A and B are shown apart, each in its own frame.
Chain A
Amino acid sequence: AQKVTQAQTEISVVEKEDVTLDCVYETRDTTYYLFWYKQPPSGELVFLIRRNSFDEQNEISGRYSWNFQKSTSSFNFTITASQVVDSAVYFCALRGGYQKVTFGTGTKLQVIP
């Protein structure tokens, strides 16, 4: 069975602060894929990143960076110099094999101006 845990339910930061969203996963598959999505108030989930289990390289995209560590089964997401537009719910997700995609419960990020 697959499981994704996002222990942080809500986080509030002041604009320009850095913030890290945690994601811990469980799977028995040796090949699996991890995802992060952003859900702004409008409701549509926006894809941010996909990472496969064989690629532990960290990735940076502008103010966003992701840290994948198989040893701790974590796939954390950091926003540097947060902005008000970053306010949203962020979901971490996992897919192993042809199983369904399993989503975490989400972390609501509020960036205060």
Chain B
Amino acid sequence: KAGVTQTPRYLIKTRGQQVTLSCSPISGHRSVSWYQQTPGQGLQFLFEYFSETQRNKGNFPGRFSGRQFSNSRSEMNVSTLELGDSALYLCASSTGQIQETQYFGPGTRLLVL
């Protein structure tokens, strides 16, 4: 079974721009969660989607948004980028049952200049 894939793997943007990151979950998985990882803040939860509905949301400003498509693929969007948005963005997929493990993708490294 193919693992979680994320595209692009690396991205450089400038302040004020917007960016869209994509995540394809493991086949059969219906839940996708997004995390932001920075050296100072660690792993921070952004949101979780299950069957195209946002199930959980972290404490991020409205500039961060996401969606999930009927094939379970998910995208997250960050508008009006700030320098502090530079981070590793990780996507994780699971079946969506609470006992199930989340499996992570390789991440997208975003650098905002």
Point out residues on B near A: beta carbons under 8 Å. Answer: 33, 35, 42-43, 45, 48, 55-56, 58, 88, 90, 92, 98-99, 101-107, 109
A-B contact count (CB 8 A): 51
Which residues of chain A are near B55, meaning CB under 8 Å? 98
Interface residue total, chain A, C-beta cutoff 8 A: 23
Q: List 16 A-B contacts (CB under 8 A).
A: A33-B98, A42-B106, A44-B107, A45-B104, A91-B43, A95-B98, A98-B55, A98-B56, A99-B56, A100-B33, A100-B45, A101-B33, A101-B45, A103-B35, A105-B42, A106-B43
Given contacts A100-B45, A101-B45, contact A43 B107 (CB under 8 A): yes
Point out residues on A near B: beta carbons under 8 Å. Answer: 31, 33, 35, 37, 42-47, 50, 52, 91, 95, 97-103, 105-106
Given contacts A44-B106, A45-B104, contact A97 B42 (CB under 8 A): no
